[in-house]
Amino acid sequence: MEPHPYSCTIPAEPLHRYRVGGYHPVYLGDFLKDGRYRIIHKLGFGGYSTVWLAKDEELQRYVAVKIAVAEVGLESRELQVLRVLSANISTHSGSQHVVQLLDDFQHAGPNGTHTCLVFEVLGPNIPTVIDARFADGRLPGKIARRVCKHALLGLDFLHQHQVGHGDLHTGNIAFTLPSLDPMPEEEVLKQLPTPEIGDVTRLDGKALGPGVPKYLVWPGSFRISKTTLENPIKIIDFGESFTRDTRPKTLHTPLAVRAPEVIFEDDIDFRVDLWSMGCMIFELVTGQPPFDSLMTTKEILVSEMIQFVGELPERWQRKWALMEKEESTDPDGLTLQLWLEEVYFDDEKTADFTREDIRELGALLRKLLRFQPTARSTTTQVLKDDWFQSPQPD
């Protein structure tokens, strides 16, 4: 593959994806949907979309607009799932912990036709909050337990409608914000860093292609205050989500929280989220996932799973034998409970929970981190667990 001919001073989304089938070039001040949505800042980007803060000129409210790459198509699984959820908003308290789709439309541009999803505006995700506010790399115990409970309630709402999220990790959990709608635009923009803009140029000095933007914008994150941490959370990013009728062959969940049935290319259903939830609860409390996340491989990950969870189901044994490295490390006798206690009661970190709390948490995690999807506790069962009924840590 030849190197792409473009350069930008801002390391935002990859410039080579600005091509037919790729990203839509967006500028501050642009209008979408016949002038209804006006772009005022950038909130994020990923491999398949960019996300923008916009003013809904029709309803006079602030929204987040996610613009998918054109190759995603007009009826993505994400849009199908979000429509199912929007049609089933109910008295279930978990619906308050799932991001709300407000509108969707198609936008034609030089790189194709793009599906645009309009959401409520949310605050920073968990990793952003931890990096900005907590030097020891984890949330205070009281906040961690509340976030776990809210995430479980949201997941319970999804699973009651046979929806799998498919990409559950701390990066897809965001704090809510108080309504921005009454605020003048200049006051809203004060809560974000000034947009950082970098010009795009061709390395050979020639004119840019028709689908390449003149500049990129670095995304901003809303300022974090003490009240931010008191707000509820919502599950976001349904790009990997699916219904009972649209189950995928595989998922691209981060490897460290990926369910074993995905690794072994077995049948997938919504219970992949239960494994990921177990990993996420461990990380929310301790500050790190239960399994290696840096430079890990499937072989290393499965070895750790076996050490903490037990013997693999017989149907996966043959694939594991083919995967396993010749220089396999011998288990060192460390159990999930011992590892949980070792990581949590680190001398350099604040321990808000008691040893009894952590023993109860270990028992909870063992109900989620099970190889057989049907053996994992449901979200409803986990929400009734003793750990959520214990007194809040100081």
Phi, psi of 297 (to 5 degrees): -130, 170
Based on its alpha-carbon atoms, the radius of gyration of the chain, rounded to whole angstroms, reads 22
Question: In the chain, which residues fall in CATH 1.10.510.10?
Answer: 1-246, 253-266+295-393
- With 0-12 / 13-18 / 19 or more C-beta atoms within 10 angstroms meaning exposed / middle / buried, residue 13 is buried
Give the pLDDT score at 197: 97
Give the pLDDT score at 336: 95
Phi, psi of 298 (to 5 degrees): -60, -40
Give the pLDDT score at 216: 98
Give the pLDDT score at 163: 95
Give the pLDDT score at 1: 45
37-77 pLDDT tens trace: 999 999 999 989 999 999 999 999 999 999 999 998 767 88
Q: Point out the residues of the chain with pLDDT beneath 70.
A: 1-3, 74, 324-332, 391, 393-394
317 token code pair: 């044994």
- CATH label, 253-266+295-393, candidates 3.10.450.40, 3.10.129.10, 1.10.510.10, 3.50.50.60: 1.10.510.10
How far is 202 from 200, CA to CA, in rounded Å? 7
24-35 pLDDT tens trace: 999 999 999 999
Measuring CA to CA, which residue among 247, 254, 93, 257 is closest to residue 163?
A: 247
Which residue positions form the known binding site for ATP? 66
Which residue positions form the known binding site? 66
Kind of pairing between the strands at 215-218 and 173-175: unpaired
Give the pLDDT score at 326: 47
At the fourth CATH level, which superfamily is domain 1-246? Answer: Transferase(Phosphotransferase) domain 1 (1.10.510.10)
Measuring CA to CA, which residue among 388, 362, 387, 365 is closest to residue 376?
A: 365
Cα distances from 19 to residues 13, 209, 377, in angstroms, run: 13, 9, 45
- pTM attached to this predicted model: 0.92
223-230: Cβ within 8 A, 24+ apart: 223/191, 223/192, 224/123, 224/124, 224/128, 224/129, 224/132, 224/133, 227/178, 228/123, 228/124, 228/129, 228/175, 228/177, 229/129, 229/133, 229/143, 229/175
Average pLDDT over the chain reads 92
